[in-house]
Amino acid sequence: MILITLFAACTNTEKQGAANQVERIPFVENLLAQMTLEEKVGQMAQLTLDVITIGEDETVSDEPIALDMDLVRWAVAEYGVGSILNTANNRARTREKWHTIVSQIQEVAINETRLGIPVLYGIDAIHGTTYTAGATFFPQQIGQAAAFNPELVRRAAEITAYETRASAIPWTFSPVLDMGRDPRFPRMWETFGEDVYLATVLGVEMIKGYEGEDNDVSDPFRVASCAKHYLGYSVPVSGKDRTPALIPEIELRERHLPPFQAGVAAGTHTIMVNSALVNGVPVHASYELLTSVLKEELGFTGLLLTDWWDIENLHTRDRVAASSKEAVKLAINAGIDMAMIPYNLDFCDYLIELVNEGEVPMSRIDDAVRRILNTKYKLGLFDTPVTHYSDYPLFGSEQFIEVAYQFAQESITLLKNEDGILPLSKNARVLVTGPNANSMRALNGGWSYSWQGEKVDEFAQDYSTIIDAIRDKIGTQRVTFREGVRYDNDNHYWVDEAFDIQGAVRAAANVDYIVIVLGENSYAEKPGDLHDLSLSQNQIELARALFQTGKPMILVLNQGRPRIIREIEPYMSAVINAYLPGNYGGPAVSDVIFGDYNPGGKLPFTYPMYANSLVTYDHKPSENQEQMEGVYDYESDFAVQYEFGFGLSYTTFAYSHLRLNRQQLDAGGQLEILVDVENTGSLAGHEVVQLYTSAHFTSVTPDVKRLRRFSKIHLEPGEKKTVAFTLTADDISFINAQNKRVNEAGAYDIIIRDLSSTFNFVK
């Protein structure tokens, strides 16, 4: 039975349940008591910036950017719009320009409205302050996950919060807590990968980095976070953005809900909703998911925000509402607090009519506005509506750059290194080729200075591409560059063309090694949809042609999702996955290739070998049925290119002496696990110690294994450390057939690398 069918129709008492949980702040309650219906509804509206700028229409602004103050007054003073988002013309701005824009909006909101309520401004600062020139950019979330370093995730979020506030903006639409379990999905790179535990841990760290340990977002160096996209967004049946998903409740609760549950417990102030459908119901119209589960069961008391245009989509796309007005009714009654409209204010007119007609209760309006005003109050906007860039001297500083550089290094994952070919000698002669070799755009990915990342070159001229960094490392005279294949950046920028493959082949004659940099150009959301997960045919042909030269090849993958490389992987002596490492990805890749940094990243997803075999590491046993003797040779094995958690180093690590403090665990007890790890190689290095559990038998078929803990350690050559972990009953609980989280008595294995030990859970 699926989730949508499980909940009974709500009563008026149930509708009040979530509202009664929300904190009553005296200042806010006094303000709320004074507000008219029109003022309340205005607070629930969010417009995109282009609507209130000087320009030909609401989607295109003139340059240089300037507000149309008549339009600002229409939106903020006449309609009382509570929030503005985005950047005009989809491009980054200077801190000074941001300060001017936000100040002018706030001046109208505070000085030209009856109650002087400030506007809440928000942007997608997802791997740095996306829309501010000169901001510090970190690896995208998928690369951050590969580093397996929670402390770095928190520190990067702290820096992003600082630089976002330096841009006069107090709210970021981040982190993404969707599960990256389908590599076809174009937003996979915005996730922390396929594992529930990893995504949960890193999601909490990012929230705490944005908001602070105590979630005091009035701190001028903190911002309000926005966990997204609740719920089940990232596993659509087709693999394409904003398309329907079919997810049984057992799967929703086992895989998709835990990161959001942890995010709520960590104090995230806002949450954004899934743009698509789950089990035939648009999430924006689902009272069950938005109110019964999120607000009542999980106890979320913050602001619940739509994604772009998604209330209108209930009518025009999803056809569950016969009119735009009915769409507003469905969404608000389901639990939406603020509408990312984003282009007009029909929403306000419809909602006022619906309240006056008794179709939307005033209690629902008051609950939504209370949540919005609470957020503004907690951000300190009533006291300091605009922060000033001069108060943020560390913006773009060397101190912040060091963190971004370190993060890029730690994210890089070495997947293959035949005969220890890497690191290369700095005396080597190298051909660098491939469409991603000389592209800052590809290194950063989407949401970098612009939505699709296509404006990166305008803002990132001072950073080094991979070819730049290799030249800097070993000298221009030792490096030959031939692109071979290039992207069509003018029109279909996700398409590449065979530019000069034979030129690359000729250039290989005079070098010792070939560094071939392949992958994807930048994209975000639906423009990243694809029909074929395979690496492009032109890039495959480049690799084939260069293989014929007989020169050893090092493949660097610069991509947001794992494109299929089965055909060319055997040609490669080494394979490096750089993901989307940000502005310092070029030097970081070069450091790994030439041995100035020993890689330690681990895959946060299962790297598929076949486009028709997309299976996660935590699959059920029946996904891997070995061939039976004398029977047909079925292709039923767990055939993947590289497994989740895999990643090589230039040194070696030996694991030994796995021990448990007890052989039984009960509901109130703790299991202490110790394991010794020794660096048996000649170089210092990082190792991610990963602890998995595997249940022998449970009433619901168990996953083959599940990651439960990890610890990143650094060891000098010959150094040994004892790594300690603690597990409780909660860590081995699961969702049963009745969709309840339970523990069941039985035997469980602890697995750390090639070591295992068994304990029993007893009731």
Which amino acid makes up residue 520? E
Torsions phi, psi of 655, nearest 5? -105, 140
DSSP E strands, 696-754: 706-715, 720-728, 734-735, 741-742, 746-752
Rounded Cα gap, residues 529 and 655, in angstroms: 42
Q: State the Cα–Cα distance between residues 437 and 444, nearest whole angstrom.
A: 13
Is 749 one of the annotated active-site residues of the chain? no
Amino acid at 3: L
Amino acid at 592: V
Q: Which two tokens stand for residue 39?
A: 């003022």
CA-to-CA distance for 350 and 327, rounded, in angstroms?
10
Residues 6+ apart with CB under 8 A from 554: 421, 422, 424, 513, 514, 515, 516, 572, 573, 574, 575, 576, 593
Yes or no: say if 455 and 482 are a contact pair by the CB < 8 Å rule: no
3-state SS of 690-708 is EEEEEECCCCCCCCCCEEE
Residue 434 and residue 212: Cα distance in Å, rounded?
A: 42
Alpha carbons 277 and 284: distance in angstroms, whole number: 9
Beta-bridge mates of residue 745: none
Distances (CA, A) of 83 to 339, 349, 450: 9, 17, 20
Alpha-carbon distance of 164 to 169, in angstroms, equals 6
Which residues 6+ apart lie within 8 Å of 62 measured at CB? 53, 54, 55, 56
Residue whose entry in the numeric block shows the structure tokens 């076809």: 184
Judge whether 705 and 618 are in contact, CB under 8 Å: yes
Pairing of strands 574-577, 553-558: parallel
- Reference 172, options 137, 231, 127, 216; nearest CA is 127
Give residue for tokens 């330096």: 166
Tokens standing for residue 485: 């294949």
Ramachandran region, residue 100 (left: φ > 0; alpha: ψ -120 to 50; beta: rest): alpha
3-state SS track over 278-297: ECCEEHHHCHHHHHHHHHHH
Q: ∠644-563-520 over CA atoms, to 5°?
A: 125
Q: Which backbone phi and psi does 273 adopt, to 5 degrees?
A: -100, 145
- Cα 744–Cα 748–Cα 751 angle in degrees, nearest 5: 145
Tell me the three state secondary structure of residue 332.
helix
Number of residues in the chain:
763
Q: Which of 50, 124, 182, 307 is catalytic?
A: 307
DSSP one-letter string for 620-653: -GGG--PPPTTS-----S--EEE-TT--B-SS-E
For residue 349, give the 3-state DSSP assignment: helix
Measured in degrees and rounded to the nearest 5, phi and psi for residue 301 equal: -115, 5
- Taking Cα atoms as reference points, which of 429, 641, 466, 702 lies closest to residue 551? 429
Residues classed as catalytic: 307
